Amino acid sequence: MPPPTTDLKTWAREVGDDTYLCTTDPEPIDLAALKAALGSDLMWWANPVEDQVELKKMVDHSLCFSLYHVWKEGDRNHGRSPMVGFARVITDYVTFAYLTDVYVLPEHQGKGLGVWMMECLDKVLKQWPGLRRTMLMARDEHAKRMYERVLGMKRVTGAIMEGMGPGATAALKEL
């Protein structure tokens, strides 16, 4: 289950004239935007979760980091900032964390937002004294280097095993 509301975190960052928020608060997560991202090339390893109840369950049972572009006074959509990035951690909140479903929309890439989102994640994980292991899968060399640099991840092989479920994409099954 998600952490208690007292453990919810929010960070703000200025990038040029733009303001971004990264938060672990699941309340504002835009499920339609997440569903669209899951069905896009942004997340080559994922399939869209069509059932709204199942999508909400996925979010509710994970630690989520949502990235929002904050609208300024006078902007066309003032009042509701769009979700422009996301990262999901499957965890027991004590000993294990599996990072998945990480993306930043293309129009917001190149601003250091993915790195910043991972720095926010790292701050949360460093507060878990019993954390034994954080894992993720990445195939892009740029992403691998970023995870090594920002999260201190190391590449491993040999002992990692997996079983594919019916929801695995063809691209993931080829790995």
Domain ranges of the chain: 5-156
Residues 6+ apart with CB under 8 A from 125: 97, 131, 134, 151
pLDDT at 168: 67
pLDDT digit string (tens) for the chain, length 175 residues: 555 555 899 999 999 989 999 999 999 999 999 999 988 888 777 777 888 899 999 999 999 999 999 977 655 555 568 999 999 999 999 999 999 999 999 999 999 999 999 999 999 999 999 999 999 988 889 999 999 999 999 988 766 766 767 766 655 555 5
State in words which class domain 5-156 has.
alpha beta
| Residue listed under structure tokens 């990264």 | 22
Sign of CA dihedral 165, 87, 9, 55: negative
Residue showing tokens 């701050």: 123
